[in-house]
Every structure is written in structure tokens, then in C-alpha cells.
Structure 1
Amino acid sequence: MRVKICGITNLTDAMDAIDAGADALGFVFYPKSARYIEPSAAQEIIKKIPPFVQSVGLFVNETAEEVNQIAEISQIDIAQIHFEASENFYKKLKIKALKVVRAQTKEDLELYKNEYRIVDAFVPEYGGEGKRLNIEWFKEIDCSRIILAGGLTANNLEDLKGFNFYSLDVSSGVEVKKGFKDKQKIINFIDKANELS
């Protein structure tokens, strides 16, 4: 099972995540977040990431031009768009984009169903609050292109068996406090995620 560790703010946490087997690291470029990182600081970490580990930047309410500028500074691989944006917005992006569904109902899971997308629980603060989605919503839905986020911890991954999610995205579930990861929690999470494969 692929795993993205989101909300990386320092090199130690980045390397702990990679050593534990993370496939991707997430950097939050939303200034109101406790996990915010300056694009230049993210670049310093990304320069030290080994090959085949992807870097993902999380954006909230930015213009396409702002996303392009931050992506160029930080050198991320993918832009995670955590807000409703127009098709014109996506056409202007110079970087691969990943849409986020902030699900409030089961019907929301069908949004962008032909694309790889992150599905997260809706919270007004744009994520990172550890709120879980109702796993029952995913029954009889093709989850093979869904990256599941929201309230995941090593202790509740057992509930995801059989759903065939493409990947898992975790932030608060592997933290000691907002913006700082717990090495053992990361190890435990990825070990449990691998049991789902």
C-alpha cells in the first residue's frame, strides 16, 4: 500500500518517513496551517530526498500563477489542490495536479471518479484535524483511484481491508504535535498499511 506522509516541516521527519517506507511527502503551502512551510525551506528538504520519493505541495485558495511560482521555488513534483477550482485554473498549471474531494456525503465520493484523487473528510479548516470519513460510504464504490485521507492512524487501518484504495495520506495520525512527526507512529502506520496490500 502506498503511503504519503503529509505536513512535513523539517528534514528529520522527512527522512524518518522515507526510512520507514513512505512513497511521498506532503508540504503544506497554506499560511493559516500549523504545518505551513516556506517554499524555500521545502526546497532545502526536497533537494535531499532520494529518487523515487515524490514531493507534493498542498495549496488552498491560490491562483494558478501562485501555484506555479511556489512549485518552481519548492521544486515539488505534484500540486495538491485542496479547494474548488475551475478547468481554466488547471489548464494554466505548469505542474501535475491532484484534486481533493472534501466529502460531506456519500455522493461526493463520485466526484472526479475517473481520476486519481484524494478523498478527505470535510472540515472548515481544510484538513489536518484528524476527522474520519464513514468507511461504509466506500462499499460498492471503485476505490482503486482514491487516495484516502482524514483521521487515519495505525490503530484503525484494519477497517480498510478489502477496499483496495490506491494510497493512504496521513498527517495528524503520525504526529507528536501539529507539524512534528513521531518516528515510531510513522513506522507503525506504514507497517499496518503494508498489511493491507
Structure 2
Amino acid sequence: MRTKICGITSVEDAMNAIEAGANALGFVFYEKSPRYLTITQAQEIIKQLPPFVEKVALFVNVSPKEVNDTCKKVGATLAQLHFEVDEDFCAQLEIPHIKVVRAKNKEDISQFSEEYRLVDAYCEAYGGAGKRINIEWFDGVDCSKIILAGGLDPDNVASLKKYGFYGVDVSSGVEISHGKKDPNKVKEFIKNATT
């Protein structure tokens, strides 16, 4: 499974994740998140990163223009949309994007089944709540285009391999405190997801 370490707030955490083998890093542009970054802070981190790492910008309730402008300014390579968007919204994006399904029930996980999408457990707050989704919902489902998020950590990620998810996304499950990653947990999470 491919791995994304989300809620990166420092160059040190970004480099530790990359050295541990992360395929993607997530940067949060949602002001209510404890992992929120300003454009300047994100630029400082992203400009120091090596090539071939996906740099994902996470958005909640913004305009297509804001997504485009922010991604261009910081050098993000993918936009992650944590809110309801329609085809018109997506047509205005100038950067590749991935939709997030905040699943309340088993039926929700089949939304956007033709495209790669991130599936997270529904909660009132957006992202980073560490709430675990009901894994049994994925029994017998084609998970090859799903990136699973929500309540993952180094101890439970290996149990997901049998489902064939495209990838896994973790934030709070590898942290010492909000926005500060534990390098050992990051390493262990990636090792358990990929070996």
C-alpha cells in the first residue's frame, strides 16, 4: 500500500517521513485544524523537499480559485478536497485533485467509485479526528482506488493489507502532539503498511 503522512508542519517531519519511504505528504490549509499552515509556512517546507514526492494540499470549503492559487504558490502537486464539490467546481481546478468521502455508512464508500478517492470516517469536524471507520464495510469491495484514512496507526495498519487498498493516510496516529510527528511511529507505520 502507498502511504501518505498528513498534517506535516515542519521540514524535519517532512524529511523523516520521506526517508522512511512515504509516497506523499499532506499540508493542511484549513484554519480550524491544529495542523494548519499559512502559505508562507508551507512554501518554506515544500521548497526544501526532494523531487518525486507527492505534495498534497488539503482544503475545506474554499473556492476553486483559492485551491488553484494556494497550490501554485506553495508548489503542491495534488489538491485534497474535504468537502462537497460538483463537476463545475472540479472543472475549474488547474491541478490534479482527489475527493474525500466522509463515510457515515457502507453505501457511502461506493461514491466516486470510478475515480481514486480518499475514504475517511464521518465526523462533525473535518479531518484529523482519528476516528476509525468500520473496516467490515470493505469486505468484498474493490478497494484498488481507495486511500483509507481515519484512526490508523502503526499497530493496526498491517491488518488492512488483505483489502487491497491503493493507499493509507495517517496524521494523528503517528504524532507526539498535534502537528508534531514521532519519527519512530512514522517509520513503523510505513514499514507495517508496505512490507
Q: TM-score, normalised by structure 1?
A: 0.97
Pick which of 112-121 and 34-43 moved more. 34-43
Partner of 1:135: 135
Over aligned residues, Cα RMSD in angstroms? 0.8
- The answer on 1:194 being equivalent to 2:194 is yes
2:3 and 2:39 mapped to 1: Cα distance? 22
Give runs of aligned pairs for residues 1-197 of structure 1, distance below 5 A: 1-195=1-195
Q: CA deviation at 1:18?
A: 0.5
Percent identity reads: 55
Secondary structure at the aligned position of 2:57 is classed as: strand
Secondary structure at the aligned position of 2:163 is classed as: coil
Give structure 2 stretches of 5+ with no counterpart.
Answer: none
Moved over 6 A (4+): none
Q: CA deviation at 1:66?
A: 1.0
Deviation by residue 1:50-101 (Cα, 9 ceiling, x = unmatched): 1111100000000101111111111100000000011111011111110000
Deviation by residue 1:126-153 (Cα, 9 ceiling, x = unmatched): 1101100111000111000000000000
Give structure 1 stretches of 5+ with no counterpart.
Answer: none
Secondary structure at the aligned position of 2:159 is classed as: helix
2:137 and 2:34 mapped to 1: Cα distance? 30
2:88 and 2:73 mapped to 1: Cα distance? 23
Q: CA deviation at 1:48?
A: 1.4
2:184 and 2:149 mapped to 1: Cα distance? 20
2:158 and 2:19 mapped to 1: Cα distance? 23
